[in-house]
Structure 1
Amino acid sequence: MVRTVYSPEYCLQYLEQYASKEIFVIGLILGQSTAARENVIHLARTPDEKSSESASETSYVLDKIETKTLLNVSEAWVADHAKHVTRMLPGGMFVQGIFITSDEDIFEEPNSFSKVKSIVNHIYKAMNANQYMFGNCPYSNERLMLHMSTSTKVLTCKSIEVGAPAKSTMIKPVEWKFLPKPQQWQRLDCYYEFDDVYPVIVKKSGISVKQQFQQILESAHKTIESSIMFIDGELKDNSEVLESLFKKKKPKTNSKSVQQELPKSMNVSLFVPFENSLPETVEYLECDGSIHFSGVVSSSVFMYPKATVSETIAAVKQDIIRSLASRFTMHCDALIDDNLLPEEKVCFNEPPRRVLVPVGALYLCDYLFPGEAPAEALLSVRELLDLKITEADVICDVETPADTSEFDALDRDASSEELLATPQEASQFMYITGICFAMFVLIVSIIIHYYDGIVKVVSKVLSK
């Protein structure tokens, strides 16, 4: 059976836009794969790689100089683009492959096809580097290769299995269908609160922020995977379809009105069973400090209405962990020094917060560091997704900036402790004070004991 992929019609216009200019373009195919259907949500052109003299390795700035041929493309550059875009995708959505507009037939020309296979395999390996990013779709290892000829405007799509030996690689045809109407999506919103304390053991080199974040991420992943999900306050059967859950709550009406109301959000709650919240083993450690990890992660997932509850559960859990992993990676990349010195008694780390950006009929996300304005998200969307949006389109209130009141109180306490004497200094002070007091008592005692004699001596001296 031929694999079928559904895409919004504006994706065809997007491809024709570049094909009509007769220029070479390579980019990413973003979408969602469920048992019911495979949907493409967006095509994102990969920015042209700038030379090392004018830009850093991860700088995504659209340059005027176009990459002329497929053979000039850097696999690492496209894979890096895929990693950055994956951070912006909600759970359940992945980079499903690549698209190319060029004059040559990439499926017939051996060197070109070899290059395409190398690119998709490089993306696959790069995505596997961090398991908590959920970069690769867990349901299939097949990746799409979409090509539009700049001369004939003919569109061809095929799939190839990644991660397999080169000799066993099979190329399969894919039927690509464009939808004249926007695809309906079921939105699910969740707010997951973290409030955990982790031990810190200080080494000679200091405390590695990255290692501490990795510890938090591993613990959060284990907890969330064991959680049970409720939709609109009810426990649903894993085999149920989202569309049927929505229709059960609606009064009987015509199908058109149901179609229009589908995007209504469903509320998701995750509960961790009590037995799963307890540690497997109890170990006593001598720790030098602790990390208080607290905050709320906002999660907005968009699912195909005919997706099952089990697929939705997986998407929501992926979204929360992917969001945490993205923030931690961005925060660590922005640090000047990964190590905190033992002298730093109190340290506050605030990873970037999540904002939503519109892409077609749904929302992807971006992250803003403390003090950054929504305009920063516009730049990311333009560079990574090749989209132009306005500042008013960015939804910034899904998460609020961190509350620093607890940190400020701890910082004041630490400053007060520094003003106080150390135990050694206090001991020396008490020792000297004791000696002085003893000498004073001794002198007073001598004066009292020999008071009469002292008075006679003083009188004789004064009478002379």
Structure 2
Amino acid sequence: MVKSVIGDENQLKLVEHRLARSAVPSQIGLVIGKLNSKLDRGFVYDLVPTPPNDAGERPCSVIDGAGDVSKTKKKGSSKAKPQSESSSLFIDHDWVFEHARQVSRMLLGGMKVVGIYIWVSESLFKNSTITLCQTVVGVAQAASTMMDDSNERLLLHISYSPLRWTCRNCSLAANITSSSLWPCDFKSGKILGSLQTFRCVYNFDLRLPIPCDDGSDIKIFSDALRNEIMVCAKELKGAKALIDGKLVAGDDLSLTDDLHEVEFLLPFMQDKYLEACSQKEVLGVLLLRGSVCSLSYLNSKEPVSQALIDIKEDIIRSLQSRLDIMCDEAERDIESVNGGDQGTNSLSYKEPIANHDLQAQRKQCNLSFPRRVFVPWLEGAYICDYIQSKETLEVLKDHCTELMSLEFPTDSSEILEPELEAPALIASTVKTFWNIATDHTSIANPDTSASKARKTGNGRPAKTADFIVLFAIFFMIIAVIVFNFMGKM
């Protein structure tokens, strides 16, 4: 259990100054940082306020004893209006959870949504303990990942009159009570400037056979891909790694530079995809191939092995985030059709590929995943976002400003685009099934590239070339037998 928490002093001062000048009696937001249970220590990098919802309403407000919502302080006032002992706190949970879900997609390895912060008075905080604990648990669920095994989050309270910071560890237990909170020692220090950066380009090639209807729950593209990403996570979890060309064995590796290159060594395995493809109940194949560029940050107090854990989790989280973005877009398309004029939209509307039934698919489908880009954040660290194939970098501005309270760079050259091509998905049935199932060289055009790969250099088909070789060997054997027979005579 985390017993002490260190916050970056520069960011804490900026947050404290912003809150002291604000004209709101309450504010809620996300704590961005890292929890290391092995060190019993937590790190806080920044506090990101949850923005107003689509209707312009704040996600957190104070309700006095009469049931009225406390209004904003008068302009120029530096102190919040005191609340009565019967005042309570209202939190728009759904909006805070959605904010946590979207922010978690933008964070890189070694950085997570590790809790919430609340700006309220001491008395109001005591009156709202259960509500705040429920909010912490909901945020943890919204920002969870496949490889997340932590069972604790932080609740950071910033009170005014007097201005004071207190930190508590919140257990993610099923039954939320006031005893779910444990006090943590909270102090500030220099953190962001001492982070080490780890970079990895992970190439993946996933082939998932599409079975005939066998009663399985995995019947649509999104579910099948999500299942395959989990398989990829298991394989990656046990992979050995090279850091700057040196094999990592324990935590004895000495690191001096700020940037380190990571390469994973995956074990050789039997081609389970080809084995599955030979079965009669297989209808088609789902291929996902591409590269993920990953960044991860390690605190100076943490061992090297933690950097590998973080970067593996970042790779899987990136694949999962891209799939979630595609599913979110599919839901919006469906809602827009259902909410519009069915008579005009029904003819032009096409169901998103993410929602297609695998068994009902009878033609090849091609789909590009969102592409990952890196945006400057704090003291040399980056966050990420995703853009679709037809989008430009301009779509990132509002997203970063609203979700992360980030001043978007005016110079586009500061934004890194290491993934020149987005990961690609191909779904195919019987016609091009074997080309995709057995091709390990190209996915650009299965009808042409795969057939070219099966030809020899002089343009003859591979079967013809094999026949010529066998005929030559047979002729040589006959010649040797005849020569030996003539020698004996």
Global fold match (TM > 0.5) = yes
User: Which residue of structure 1 lines up, in the alignment, with residue 119 of structure 2?
Assistant: 101
User: Which residue of structure 2 lines up, in the alignment, with residue 256 of structure 1?
Assistant: none
Q: 1:328 aligns with which of 323, 326, 332?
A: 323
Q: 2:393 aligns with which of 374, 393, 408?
A: 374
Quote how far apart the aligned CAs of 1:115 are: 1.1
User: Which residue of structure 2 lines up, in the alignment, with residue 45 of structure 1?
Assistant: 49
| Structure having the higher Rg | 1
Distance 1:159 1:107, change over 3 A: farther
User: For the residues of structure 2 that align with 1:167 and 1:42, how far apart are their CA atoms?
Assistant: 27
1:87 aligned onto 2:105: yes
Three-state SS of the structure 2 residue aligned to 1:169 is helix
Aligned ranges 1:241-256 → 2 under 5 Å: 245-247=254-256
User: Which residue of structure 1 lines up, in the alignment, with residue 287 of structure 2?
Assistant: 292
Q: TM-score, normalised by structure 1?
A: 0.72
User: For the residues of structure 1 that align with 2:200 and 2:416, how far apart are their CA atoms?
Assistant: 16
Matched residue type, 1:49: N
Aligned ranges 1:245-324 → 2 under 5 Å: 245-247=254-256, 262-263=257-258, 265-275=259-269, 279=272, 283=276, 284-324=279-319
Quote how far apart the aligned CAs of 1:45 are: 0.7
Quote how far apart the aligned CAs of 1:355 are: 0.8
User: Which residue of structure 1 lines up, in the alignment, with residue 95 of structure 2?
Assistant: 77
User: Which residue of structure 1 lines up, in the alignment, with residue 376 of structure 2?
Assistant: 358
User: Which residue of structure 2 lines up, in the alignment, with residue 117 of structure 1?
Assistant: 133
User: For the residues of structure 1 that align with 2:226 and 2:192, how far apart are their CA atoms?
Assistant: 40
User: For the residues of structure 1 that align with 2:207 and 2:151, how far apart are their CA atoms?
Assistant: 38
User: Which residue of structure 2 lines up, in the alignment, with residue 234 of structure 1?
Assistant: 246
Matched residue type, 1:125: Q
User: For the residues of structure 1 that align with 2:4 and 2:161, how far apart are their CA atoms?
Assistant: 26
Distance 1:103 1:22, change over 3 A: farther
User: Which residue of structure 1 lines up, in the alignment, with residue 453 of structure 2?
Assistant: none
Structure 1 or 2: more helix by fraction: 1
Matched residue type, 2:254: L
User: For the residues of structure 2 that align with 1:29 and 1:234, how far apart are their CA atoms?
Assistant: 35
Quote how far apart the aligned CAs of 1:281 are: 11
Structure 1: segments with no counterpart, 5+ residues? 52-62, 248-261, 414-464
Deviations 1:357-413 (A, max 9, x none): 122121111111112111222222111111112253652421113488966634789
Aligned residues: 376
User: Which residue of structure 2 lines up, in the alignment, with residue 215 of structure 1?
Assistant: 227
Contact 1:224 1:272 in 2 (8 A): yes
Q: TM-score, normalised by structure 2?
A: 0.69
User: Which residue of structure 1 lines up, in the alignment, with residue 186 of structure 2?
Assistant: 176
Contact 1:48 1:67 in 2 (8 A): no
User: Which residue of structure 1 lines up, in the alignment, with residue 84 of structure 2?
Assistant: none
User: For the residues of structure 2 that align with 1:171 and 1:71, how far apart are their CA atoms?
Assistant: 18
Quote how far apart the aligned CAs of 1:246 are: 1.8
Distance 1:147 1:403, change over 3 A: closer
User: For the residues of structure 1 that align with 2:251 and 2:423, how far apart are their CA atoms?
Assistant: 41
Distance 1:72 1:320, change over 3 A: same
Contact 1:209 1:332 in 2 (8 A): no
Contact 2:152 2:169 in 1 (8 A): yes
Matched residue type, 1:384: L
Q: 1:400 aligns with which of 420, 424, 428?
A: 420
Three-state SS of the structure 2 residue aligned to 1:246 is coil
User: For the residues of structure 2 that align with 1:343 and 1:164, how far apart are their CA atoms?
Assistant: 41
Three-state SS of the structure 2 residue aligned to 1:270 is strand
Distance 1:408 1:158, change over 3 A: closer
Distance 1:344 1:15, change over 3 A: farther
Contact 2:8 2:191 in 1 (8 A): no
Aligned ranges 1:23-62 → 2 under 5 Å: 23=24, 24-34=26-36, 35-36=38-39, 37-51=41-55
Distance 1:206 1:117, change over 3 A: closer
Identity over aligned pairs, percent: 27
User: For the residues of structure 1 that align with 2:190 and 2:261, how far apart are their CA atoms?
Assistant: 30
Quote how far apart the aligned CAs of 1:164 are: 4.9
Matched residue type, 1:235: L
Three-state SS of the structure 1 residue aligned to 2:254 is helix
User: For the residues of structure 1 that align with 2:314 and 2:246, how far apart are their CA atoms?
Assistant: 21
Contact 1:381 1:387 in 2 (8 A): yes
Deviations 1:68-109 (A, max 9, x none): 32732122221221111111111232211111112454443x
User: For the residues of structure 2 that align with 1:119 and 1:49, how far apart are their CA atoms?
Assistant: 17
User: For the residues of structure 2 that align with 1:370 and 1:280, how far apart are their CA atoms?
Assistant: 29
Quote how far apart the aligned CAs of 1:224 are: 0.9
Three-state SS of the structure 1 residue aligned to 2:129 is helix
Contact 2:207 2:273 in 1 (8 A): no
Q: CA RMSD in A?
A: 3.3
Matched residue type, 1:146: L
User: Which residue of structure 2 lines up, in the alignment, with residue 416 of structure 1?
Assistant: none
Contact 1:375 1:391 in 2 (8 A): no
User: For the residues of structure 1 that align with 2:386 and 2:196, how far apart are their CA atoms?
Assistant: 23
Contact 1:31 1:38 in 2 (8 A): yes
Three-state SS of the structure 1 residue aligned to 2:328 is helix
Quote how far apart the aligned CAs of 1:163 are: 1.9
Three-state SS of the structure 1 residue aligned to 2:307 is helix
User: For the residues of structure 2 that align with 1:403 and 1:354, how far apart are their CA atoms?
Assistant: 10
Quote how far apart the aligned CAs of 1:67 are: 4.2
Structure 2: segments with no counterpart, 5+ residues? 63-87, 334-350, 427-441, 450-489
Matched residue type, 2:324: T
Contact 1:4 1:176 in 2 (8 A): yes
User: For the residues of structure 1 that align with 2:177 and 2:218, how far apart are their CA atoms?
Assistant: 49
Contact 1:237 1:309 in 2 (8 A): no
User: Which residue of structure 2 lines up, in the alignment, with residue 3 of structure 1?
Assistant: 4
User: For the residues of structure 2 that align with 1:285 and 1:226, how far apart are their CA atoms?
Assistant: 32
User: Which residue of structure 2 lines up, in the alignment, with residue 346 of structure 1?
Assistant: 364
Three-state SS of the structure 2 residue aligned to 1:409 is coil
Distance 1:93 1:344, change over 3 A: same
User: For the residues of structure 2 that align with 1:175 and 1:156, how far apart are their CA atoms?
Assistant: 8
User: For the residues of structure 2 that align with 1:281 and 1:409, how far apart are their CA atoms?
Assistant: 20
User: Which residue of structure 1 lines up, in the alignment, with residue 486 of structure 2?
Assistant: none
Distance 1:307 1:100, change over 3 A: same
